[in-house]
Amino acid sequence: MELPALVLMPLISLMGSSEKNEVSYFLIVIWVLHYANRTLIFPFKLKTADKKMPLVIVGSAVLFNGVNGFLNGYVLGYMQPQLLDPTSFHVLIGGMVFFTGMGINRWADRSLIALREKQQGYQIPKGGLFEYISCPNHFGEIVEWIGFALIAWNLPAVTFAIWTFCNLSPRSLNHHEWYQNNFDKYPKNRKAILPYIL
């Protein structure tokens, strides 16, 4: 479902006539790092052969990822964006935020996969950010795209960061509610997606 984003953003960015600098290439590389993992690595680690997904969700995801990849690629490739200096505050902080989010996201995904491999059925995740929130994997992805938006400093990147929060927050609240309904001893102080807040 995320293949259009993996292909379109770097392709359009690189084919476009806009002048590129180190920040352009950095944005392309971190985009590909995220989407190569989501498209080519992560799905094969999951054992979800029996789970089904409605076609409307698949179609919506493909459409969204195509539009998102196109818009982010088009700005970099064709709209002559005012790219920041590679040593600017936005790029340095944004890079740290992005890789922190990526680390959280991948750690949480690995933890959940390992938990499923150890025991049959669902278990209460523990340790690290799982002590504070039910969905650190979603939290990490939100942090990633905030970092990307800080580096890119353009409308499609900021819009994508906001959309990621708006998309993953309800999903996290739903997961959180499911845990609470299915585990009597689920930690009462644990939030859904933002430690101490939501």
Q: Are residues 18 and 74 in the same domain?
A: yes
Same domain as 98, residue 139: yes
**φ and ψ of 77, to 5 deg:** -85, -30
In this prediction, residue 149 carries a pLDDT of 96
pLDDT value at 150 more than 90: yes
What is the residue-averaged pLDDT of the chain? 91
**Same domain (yes/no): 52, 100:** no
Residue 88: per-residue pLDDT: 85
Report whether 141 contacts 101 (CB < 8 A): yes
CB 83 within 8 A of CB 21: yes
Please state, for a pLDDT cut of 70, what percent of the chain lies above it: 96
Q: Is residue 61 predicted with pLDDT exceeding 80?
A: yes
Looking at the structure, do residues 74 and 140 belong to the same domain, yes or no? no
> Taking residues 150-178, what's their average pLDDT?
95
Residue 191: domain span: 85-198
From its phi and psi, is residue 121 left (phi > 0), alpha (psi between -120 and 50) or beta? left
Q: How would you class 68 by CB atoms within 10 Å of its CB: exposed for 0-12, middle for 13-18, buried for 19 or more?
A: buried
Q: Which of residues 58, 83, 108 is at a domain's end?
A: 83
Confidence check: pLDDT of 122 > 90: no
Q: Do 195 and 108 belong together in one domain? A: yes
| Cα separation, 188 vs 176, whole angstroms | 11
pLDDT at 134 over 80: yes
Q: Are 66 and 95 in a shared domain? A: no
49 pLDDT above the threshold of 70: no
Helices 55-78 and 136-152 meet at what angle, rounded to 10? 20
Give the dihedral of Cα atoms 10, 156, 170, 145; nearest 10 deg. Answer: 60
Q: Is 158 helix (H, G, I), strand (E, B) or coil?
A: helix
Q: How many CA atoms lie within 13 A of 147 on its CB side?
A: 23
Residues 71 and 96 in one domain: no
pLDDT digits (tens, 9 = 90+) for 3-27: 999 999 999 999 999 988 899 999 9
Choose one of 38, 62, 83: the last residue of a domain: 83
Single residue among 62, 83, 104 that ends a domain in this structure = 83
Q: Looking at residue 169, what is its pLDDT?
A: 96
Residue 54: predicted pLDDT: 82
Per-residue model confidence (pLDDT) at position 144: 98
Q: What is the pLDDT of residues 170-194, one digit of tens each?
A: 999 999 999 999 998 899 999 999 9
- Tell me how far apart the alpha carbons of residues 142 and 153 are, in angstroms, rounded to a whole number: 16
Indicate if 73 and 99 belong to the same structural domain: no
- Residues 115 and 194 both lie in one domain: yes
Tokens of 162: 């906001």
Rounded Cα distance, 74 and 79, in Å: 7
Domain count, the chain: 2
Q: Can you read off the two tokens belonging to residue 196?
A: 């101490």
Which bin fits 53, alpha (ψ -120 to 50), beta or left (φ > 0)?
A: beta
| Helix, strand, or coil (residue 133) | strand
Residues 93 and 165 in one domain: yes
CA distances to 10, 34, 97, 159 from 105, rounded to whole Å, are 22, 10, 12, 20
- Find the range with the poorest average confidence among 51-65, 89-103, 146-160: 51-65
Q: What percent of the chain has pLDDT over 90?
A: 72
91, 66: one domain: no
What pLDDT does 53 receive?
74
Same domain for 59 and 127, yes or no, is no
pLDDT at 35 over 70: yes
